Structure 1
Amino acid sequence: MRAFSRFRLRLTVTTAALTLAGAAAALPIEDRLAELRAAYDAEVAKNVIDLQLYRHSQEAVLPDGKTKVELINLNPNINSWFLLGLGEGNGRSWFHLENPAPDDRALSLEQGADGPEILITEGKRTHRCTPWAGEPSMLSEARRANLPYAPVCGDRLYLRVQTGGSYTSLEATSQFLRDHVWGGDAIVTWVKATLNKDKYALLDGELGTGGEDDAAAHGPPPAKVRHAEGQRPLVAQYHTFDLEGAEGGMATGLWYPVEGQDGVFVSALQPQSIAQEVMDVPGANWLDGVESRAINYFVAFDLSRFDLGFARGTDHPRLGWSPRPPAYVRPRGMPGPDGFTTAAPLVSLGMASPYLTDRITAAFTAGFKRQHGAFRGGPYRDANYGSHYGFLEHGVILSKLWPGLSTVYVTQDGEIGMKTWEESDYEKMPNLRFARQNGTPLVEDGKPGPYVTQWLPGNWSGSANADLRTLRAGACLIEQGDTQYLVYAYFSTATPSAMTRSFMAYDCTYGMLLDMNALEHTYMGLYSFNDGGGIEVDHIMRGMSQLDKRGSSGVIPRFIGYPDNRDVFYLIRKE
């Protein structure tokens, strides 16, 4: 029998969480944790609740003496997501609640004089709520409101309501082929490799030259280029951002502030301009003439000003098996790599929470679908059931994180990191607020990742010979003194090697692939509010506006104004 790699998750939770978990069961704390861990590890069909190692459950009974009420805090360290269950067995109804003030607002289930109550505590104030009471109840009215986030309990909590996510015609057609046509994935791959090849390539000629006088007074360091000072080529602007000092074009590799967006900077780079000292570092392939001339755009966010969030889409990434790993990695009776194919009773919405809207600055598509989010070859194919890319939202594990994979993460105290996940990183798990994995690193410690030139081990999609040079998106981290920048990158046509060299030119300490092949897969919007209070959207590429919607009061942005089928990263200004 093939041996699978197994991480040893250290059960290091906070004292408060341990106390809660122990109080939730008639077991000693150590036995309770062992019980939770056994359910987590079991190679059997299960549900997403079984994956939550730190969950705390409270139970009560309604005055009828038979209807059970259960409140589950899915991760007390994060204190954001709760499940409210009414009834028992197959007749149980679940409601997914979100706490919009997890640092200030505590929830508990108490047995009051007239029956169970949810106590919502904020400092010295306590609010009591019985959302199941009445006919119709607060919960049933909230579900009928046709809102993805329905306020309950005096607007102190939100009920997350399952809603279909928006699809573009391309996205819907591709998904139909994959789901319903024999060999559909091969058809989609052929279309991308032929009809879509270089469809989005930006290969305009130069507009003249510019220099360091155009550079931002603040922001990341400029890219290392082969041009003399003052002789950087000017490249065209196909984005829709208003930049300071870029009226005649963008000098390649320099950063320009976005007007009205403190802490946000934009740069453009053609790989043919990258300094030879960067190109000479071993570990990446040569670049052909097309990707060398392609214009690529980079948007940097000063992380001293922003927090980062993540939301799984209504449909993607899915939770079942990817067809990429061989069948022998699947334990018998396991419907997916985590033991389930649906997040139910949790509700995934593919959008930022509405109480964050007034602080939202940007959003971008987060990563690959499950279809492509596992390994067909290389060392990770046979490790951990094929090493499906993991993800975690509001402290809740939706799919396990696996060693060796590039990971963006956000901790409970606001640390934003990007690294190759290791066994030792599981100590972070109790206090992870968000995490998303995507393949293997493009750049690690400022150098090419170990599989940049190896197509199957790197899981890059396409051909190692650049037969599928295509539109790609990625992200990297830049560290400049005490300041850290998160960079979103749009490559109009590139191989992983071109992405790697570009990230290295900007002194990225770590870089990774996100998604590829279409504008909807590489979407990035930057948000601002007009004088009338309406939201306005600028995009990293013209044409992305078709992915937003319009209403009577103006634009309704993707990932902000309505649920989407894809997952998303979003940046919000710190309070």
Structure 2
Amino acid sequence: MMLAILGCSTPPTVATAPPVEPEPTESLATPDRVEVAPPSMAPVHLEPAGLPSSDPVDQTPRDVFDLPGGGRLVHLSRGDHWLWTVAGRTYHLEAAAPVRVTPDGIVEVGGEPCPPSGLEPATAAPFASVCPGLWRRNPVKGAKSKLEWGTDFLRDHVKGGEALTRFVKEKVVRSRGKTSEEHASTGSVAPSGSPTPVRTTRDASLVVEELGIPLSGGPSPLTAGVFYATAAQPGIWLAALHPGLVPDAGTRPLDPVEAVADTLLVLFELDRFDLHFALGTEHPRLDWADRVKPPVRTDWPGPDGFDGDGPLVRAGSVRPDRGGAVVAAFTGGFKRSHGAFHRGPLATVNRGSHYGFVEDGIVWSRPQPGLASVTVTWDGRVDLGVWTEAQRVGDYRHVRQNGLPLVVDGAIGPDVYDRLDGNWSGSVEGDARSMRAGLCIRTEGTARQLLYGYFTAATPGAMARVFLAAGCEDA
């Protein structure tokens, strides 16, 4: 089963790799090429330039096969993505079965020949079958609500549009999330085998309306902080609470609004699920964040040297053979417009320290040191932590960065209360309280658990307080 961390403006997208023997090679991370070569307009070059041997990222594709008639097949990184060039046109493919090229140049998928004639399927669906076990990605427009379409239009085309989007988020969207009522009595009994609850300072029960996630036993009042099993899938639990019900853990006092704001924690037992990251059809983009100014901002098209996707394609949907495996999907983080620093130490280094992201070994935007990162290794281990210079991008199948950490090694993050240097967003009134979401990891015995938190109105300090009360080591 799978969880998917997603870019914005798309349905869920996940990718699974065919069996590949591990090798001590690094991922194709063409964005780093801007250090030694002129910037390009796309994240992948079919004729990659070399980098100094001291650079931690190997720029060469994993496998390159020259085919009869001048064609070429390129395996990107250690995942399941391929580029097949025929008659001057390049196709982005995903393999659900092992791919090999015979000595006479025949492409085989799953042990069967796969002729290039299948590269032109008569469909515009996000994924089109080339041959059994091989899919062609087709560009599609992502699905957007009217609200999201409006916020993107304001941000992209209207002066002062960012302030208007904050107003909508604060006054319209958040008001829909205030659906719980707190009672002094205890709610329904926690089910047998329930994970360790969030620490609270008093007993309380919550009646949560419009929850949208069916629970085993029905929608009776929930004891604050207790995890209840979801009805649809074993290994997924949900807890409801208010930040004012948990101990302060050394955090600052809460304001009256965030103290009673609805907070939901969804817990995933990591031994039951794989975690994947996928870009949205449009977000996160690859250009510069407007908040980054010269001299940090250069004349490159984007901070990694490019602002376009080609020849890669963002499919924006679940690959057909994997759809039944996805059990949950949630937003992956900030859009590029908010994913960089405009003040503080990180604003002056690494071209503004844009938040990096790696999908299935392909480096779309290079991870930057000092940023909170969710990582998935090639053997499936999920971690949260601060990215360091010593980490090698090629060790990870997926990486997604989102600003600075809330919790580090079980303690509150050092920049949680520095709104400007910490790069925290805020409300239309200019305070740090806003609708937010976050991730944390905790360990219960030998079991590791991923928690996704949804906060209808919270400062970073309130989020840190809740995650610490939940026993999270990093968030």
Go from structure 1 to structure 2 and tell me whether the alpha carbon gap of 1:233 and 1:36 turns closer, same or farther (over 3 Å shift): closer
Which residue of structure 2 aligns with residue 313 of structure 1? 280
Partner SS, residue 316 of structure 2: coil
Distance 2:372 2:177 in 1: 26
Q: Is the 8 A contact 1:455 1:464 kept in 2?
A: no
Q: Is the 8 A contact 2:181 2:206 kept in 1?
A: no
Give 1:409-420 correspondences, 5 Å limit: 409-420=375-386
Give 1:480-519 correspondences, 5 Å limit: 480-511=444-475
Give 1:439-478 correspondences, 5 Å limit: 439-462=403-426, 467=431, 469-478=433-442
Q: Which of 358, 364, 370 does residue 324 from structure 2 map onto? A: 358
Which residue of structure 2 aligns with residue 393 of structure 1? 359
Asked which structure has the greater RCO (Cα within 8 Å, sep 6+), the reply is 2
Which range moved further: 349-358 or 496-505?
A: 349-358
Distance 2:214 2:83 in 1: 44
Distance 2:331 2:396 in 1: 20
Pair 1:56-2:62 in alignment: yes
Q: Is the 8 A contact 1:402 1:421 kept in 2?
A: yes
Which residue of structure 2 aligns with residue 369 of structure 1? 335
Distance 1:201 1:15 in 2: 45
Which structure 1 residue ranges, 5 or more long, are not aligned?
1-13, 22-32, 132-136, 512-575
Pair 1:340-2:306 in alignment: yes
Distance 1:502 1:268 in 2: 11
Task: Give the superposition deviation at 1:479.
Answer: 0.8
Go from structure 1 to structure 2 and tell me whether the alpha carbon gap of 1:170 and 1:507 turns closer, same or farther (over 3 Å shift): same
RMSD, aligned CA: 2.7
Give 1:555-570 correspondences, 5 Å limit: none
Which residue of structure 1 aligns with residue 123 of structure 2? 145
TM-score by length of 1: 0.72
Partner SS, residue 49 of structure 1: coil
Task: Give the superposition deviation at 1:482.
Answer: 0.8
Partner SS, residue 380 of structure 1: helix
Q: Which of 252, 261, 268 does residue 285 from structure 1 map onto? A: 252
Go from structure 1 to structure 2 and tell me whether the alpha carbon gap of 1:247 and 1:464 turns closer, same or farther (over 3 Å shift): closer
Pair 1:130-2:105 in alignment: no
Task: Give the superposition deviation at 1:369.
Answer: 0.5
TM-score by length of 2: 0.86
Letter in 2 for 1:454: D
Which residue of structure 1 aligns with residue 186 of structure 2? 210
Listed one character per residue, the Cα deviations across residues 449-477 of structure 1 (whole Å, up to 9, x for unaligned) are 11110012211112699735222111111
Q: Is the 8 A contact 1:225 1:505 kept in 2?
A: yes
Go from structure 1 to structure 2 and tell me whether the alpha carbon gap of 1:201 and 1:127 turns closer, same or farther (over 3 Å shift): closer
Task: Give the superposition deviation at 1:290.
Answer: 1.1
Q: Is the 8 A contact 1:407 1:437 kept in 2?
A: yes
Q: Is the 8 A contact 1:235 1:295 kept in 2?
A: no
Distance 2:273 2:302 in 1: 35
Distance 1:206 1:502 in 2: 17
Q: Which of 69, 76, 91 does residue 74 from structure 1 map onto? A: 76
Letter in 1 for 2:119: L
Which residue of structure 1 aligns with residue 240 of structure 2? 268
Q: Is the 8 A contact 1:40 1:53 kept in 2?
A: no
Task: Give the superposition deviation at 1:246.
Answer: 5.9
Q: Is the 8 A contact 1:43 1:331 kept in 2?
A: no
Letter in 2 for 1:53: Q
Pair 1:84-2:48 in alignment: no
Q: Is the 8 A contact 2:341 2:352 kept in 1?
A: yes
Go from structure 1 to structure 2 and tell me whether the alpha carbon gap of 1:249 and 1:43 turns closer, same or farther (over 3 Å shift): farther
Task: Give the superposition deviation at 1:408.
Answer: 0.9
Q: Which of 133, 156, 181 does residue 158 from structure 2 map onto? A: 181
Distance 2:431 2:386 in 1: 28
Which residue of structure 2 aligns with residue 160 of structure 1? 137
Pair 1:403-2:369 in alignment: yes
Distance 1:156 1:509 in 2: 40
Distance 2:76 2:135 in 1: 15
Task: Give the superposition deviation at 1:79.
Answer: 3.4
Which residue of structure 1 aligns with residue 223 of structure 2? 251
Go from structure 1 to structure 2 and tell me whether the alpha carbon gap of 1:444 and 1:220 turns closer, same or farther (over 3 Å shift): farther
Q: Percent identity, aligned pairs only?
A: 35
Letter in 2 for 1:221: T
Go from structure 1 to structure 2 and tell me whether the alpha carbon gap of 1:505 and 1:344 turns closer, same or farther (over 3 Å shift): same
Partner SS, residue 39 of structure 1: helix
Distance 1:369 1:501 in 2: 25
Larger Rg: 1
Letter in 1 for 2:328: A
Distance 1:318 1:361 in 2: 26
Distance 2:258 2:31 in 1: 48
Which residue of structure 1 aligns with residue 89 of structure 2? 93
Partner SS, residue 455 of structure 1: coil
Q: Which has the higher helix share?
A: 1
Go from structure 1 to structure 2 and tell me whether the alpha carbon gap of 1:203 and 1:57 turns closer, same or farther (over 3 Å shift): closer
Letter in 1 for 2:243: P
Q: Is the 8 A contact 2:440 2:451 kept in 1?
A: yes
Go from structure 1 to structure 2 and tell me whether the alpha carbon gap of 1:353 and 1:326 turns closer, same or farther (over 3 Å shift): same
Q: Is the 8 A contact 1:97 1:160 kept in 2?
A: yes
Distance 1:435 1:506 in 2: 24
Which residue of structure 2 aligns with residue 242 of structure 1? 214
Task: Give the superposition deviation at 1:366.
Answer: 1.1
Task: Give the superposition deviation at 1:385.
Answer: 0.5
Go from structure 1 to structure 2 and tell me whether the alpha carbon gap of 1:219 and 1:106 turns closer, same or farther (over 3 Å shift): farther
Listed one character per residue, the Cα deviations across residues 82-117 of structure 1 (whole Å, up to 9, x for unaligned) are 111124xxxx3110010124xxx1333x463xxx42
Q: Is the 8 A contact 2:369 2:386 kept in 1?
A: yes
Partner SS, residue 357 of structure 1: helix
Q: Is the 8 A contact 1:60 1:111 kept in 2?
A: no
Q: How many pairs does the alignment contain?
A: 443
Letter in 1 for 2:435: L
Task: Give the superposition deviation at 1:390.
Answer: 0.7
Which residue of structure 1 aligns with residue 52 of structure 2? none
Task: Give the superposition deviation at 1:170.
Answer: 1.3
Distance 1:285 1:423 in 2: 32
Q: Is the 8 A contact 2:432 2:460 kept in 1?
A: no
